[in-house]
Structure 1
Amino acid sequence: MVATQPSDLHEEHEHEHVHLPQHRHHFETEEQQREAASFGMWLFLLTEIMFFGGLFMAYLLYRNWYNPAFVAASHTLSIKLGALNTAILITSGFCMALAVWAAETRRRKALVNLLGLTNLFGIAFLVVKYFEYAEKWQDSHVPGLKFSIADFGKLGVDMAQKTQVYYSLYFAMTGMHALHMIIGIVLIFWYMVRANRGEFTEGYVAPIENFGLYWHFVDIVWIFLFPLLYLIDLGAK
Structure 2
Amino acid sequence: MSEAHVHFQYDSAAHQEATALDGMWLFLATEVLFFGALFLTWLVSRHFHPQGFAEAARHTELLIGSINTAVLVTSSFVFSCGLGFIERGDARSMIRACFVTALLGLAFITLKGVEWTKDFSDHLVPGPGFAIAGADSGGAQIFFCFYFVATVLHAVHMLVGLGLIAWLVQRARRGAFSAASHAPVEVVGLYWSFVDVVWLVLYPLIYLVGRPG
- In the superposition, the TM-score normalised over structure 2's length comes to 0.95
1:118 alignment counterpart? 101
Residue from 223, 227, 231 that aligns with 2:200: 223
Superposition deviation, residue 108 in structure 1: 1.4
Residue from 146, 153, 164 that aligns with 2:141: 164
What SS does the aligned partner of 1:162 have? helix
Superposition deviation, residue 234 in structure 1: 2.3
2:49 alignment counterpart? 66
1:22-69, CA deviations, whole angstroms, 9 ceiling, x for partnerless residues? Answer: 211211111111111111110000000000000000000001101111
**Cα gap change, 1:25 to 1:192, in 2 (>3 Å):** same
1:17 alignment counterpart? none
1:194 alignment counterpart? 171
- Does the CA-based 8 Å contact 1:136-1:142 persist in structure 2? yes
- Does the CA-based 8 Å contact 2:79-2:189 persist in structure 1? yes
**Cα gap change, 1:66 to 1:93, in 2 (>3 Å):** same
Superposition deviation, residue 76 in structure 1: 0.5
1:68-88, CA deviations, whole angstroms, 9 ceiling, x for partnerless residues? Answer: 111111100111111100000
Residue ranges of structure 2 left out of the alignment (5+ in a row)? none
2:63 alignment counterpart? 80
- Does the CA-based 8 Å contact 1:71-1:233 persist in structure 2? yes
Corresponding pairs, count: 211
Deviates more, 1:226-235 or 1:211-220: 226-235
Identity %: 35
Superposition deviation, residue 202 in structure 1: 5.6
Matches within 5 A, 1:6-85: 22-85=5-68
What SS does the aligned partner of 2:178 have? coil
- Does the CA-based 8 Å contact 1:89-1:219 persist in structure 2? yes
In 2: Cα distance, 1:202 partner to 1:231 partner? 42
Q: Which letter maps to 1:76?
A: H
Select the structure of larger CA radius of gyration.
Answer: 1
- Does the CA-based 8 Å contact 2:55-2:211 persist in structure 1? no
Residue ranges of structure 1 left out of the alignment (5+ in a row)? 1-19
Superposition deviation, residue 149 in structure 1: 3.6
1:156-209, CA deviations, whole angstroms, 9 ceiling, x for partnerless residues? Answer: 3xx213311110000111111110000000111111111111111262210000
1:12 alignment counterpart? none
Q: Which letter maps to 1:204?
A: S
In 2: Cα distance, 1:231 partner to 1:221 partner? 15
- Structure 1 runs of 4+ off > 2 angstroms? 147-150
1:148 alignment counterpart? 129
Structure with the bigger RCO (C-alpha within 8 Å, sep 6+) is 2
- In the superposition, the TM-score normalised over structure 1's length comes to 0.86
